[in-house]
Structure 1
């Protein structure tokens, strides 16, 4: 494979923001691997994208299952020998505005399993493919709910905690990684997806654009930052 062609992996790529990210990255010439837990939905999304002549392939990844992540990393290494961009977009919102102490603990555990540990295991499994070539861009799709100031208000406790932890993970990994590998977190805003609901003001297209620039930023680009619409925001 040509050294000029970059390979990107997007989790939760079968719908919403993930699907838009896959589409937009493919349009600008990336080889895209769309990852989805649901194979049927993943293949349906791939079919739609291929109708637009986009170079997209599918891999089944359940971010709650470490073996599933490990197998995907082995398969991608065998097929491409590299990974340039990892977008950790898969996430869950299970709260319904409950408070931490009043919710069934399994809601918090399941939210953390996907939104925090899922991302941790994805990064841990795929960063060796980036270290091999001394280049990589990792983008964690977070939320303004993960900011420290949001911890002063009750409600949405499990989701807030998961994104708060994800933001911390982003910062910690940023200071651990070497060479031209960068990791950043993004708040896409309130987006009209299955998760955001129909009354959200932003389209998945707008959200994807606000994330995309971090996938293509140069060596002088940010590392360990938190962004909304291309502007750095407070943690």
Structure 2
């Protein structure tokens, strides 16, 4: 079994996911670049390798059972264990998300990727994570998933979104349930809020860079053994649920 730490980052071919992969790679880790688009995945791997990161591609569609099972097998065969899983892959579901007019398929698709996909990948990777001396799981969430902020007058939570925003609330709740089940293990699991970053997810309208957005995920991925679990954090500390 390799002694080098290994992380798998889903949706790592671009944006925040790519920067998380790069940041962990610069710590000397081996990085699995999980993505479903082969061309973009291999381009990201090549770019990371050129920058000195020990990266390898992991074909991964978080909505497909067979793809996730194959990704777990590939990771096991390459490294023998997994130290960190970063569940970053996500979609917005598009812009027409008023509750009264939304196509319910938009909601269903967002939930399948942003929530069920996280559960699917996490459960597939747990046997590998259990082999690590200090396993960490980071779920990339968003401030729009905070019910406190959503109901605070004047708080900036973006446009009305009955698909995307609730999936992040759902993801936060899922994170807590995992933390409760895993509380007697050495696995720490937390939700990360990267802030409003300029990525193609929002048409590059964000005011933060993907590098800035990756900071909190990298911090949670490298928590000490006495670090928190079941929390929701941004760079400044805890984000209200």
TM surpasses 0.5 = yes
Partner of 2:171: 166
**Distance between the aligned counterparts of 2:172 and 2:204, measured in 1?**
27
Partner of 2:192: 186
Partner of 1:206: 212
TM-score norm. by structure 2 comes to: 0.92
**Distance between the aligned counterparts of 1:110 and 1:2, measured in 2?**
37
In the alignment, is residue 147 of structure 1 matched against residue 152 of structure 2?
A: no
Unaligned runs of 5+ in 2: 152-156
**Distance between the aligned counterparts of 2:205 and 2:114, measured in 1?**
23
Q: Please say which of residues 189-198 and 16-25 is displaced more in the overlay.
A: 189-198
Partner of 1:176: 181
Compared CA separation, residues 101 and 196, structure 1 to 2 (3 A): same
Partner of 1:32: 31
Q: Please say which of residues 118-127 and 74-83 is displaced more in the overlay.
A: 74-83
1:170 and 1:184 in contact (8 A); partners too: yes
CA displacement at 1:2 relative to structure 2: 4.1
**Distance between the aligned counterparts of 1:61 and 1:2, measured in 2?**
22
Partner of 2:99: 100
Q: Please say which of residues 93-102 and 184-193 is displaced more in the overlay.
A: 93-102
TM-score norm. by structure 1 comes to: 0.95
**Distance between the aligned counterparts of 1:187 and 1:205, measured in 2?**
13
Cα RMSD after superposing both structures: 1.6
2:62 and 2:121 in contact (8 A); partners too: yes
Runs of 4 or more consecutive aligned structure 1 residues displaced over 6 Å after TM superposition: none
Compared CA separation, residues 210 and 134, structure 1 to 2 (3 A): closer
Unaligned runs of 5+ in 1: none
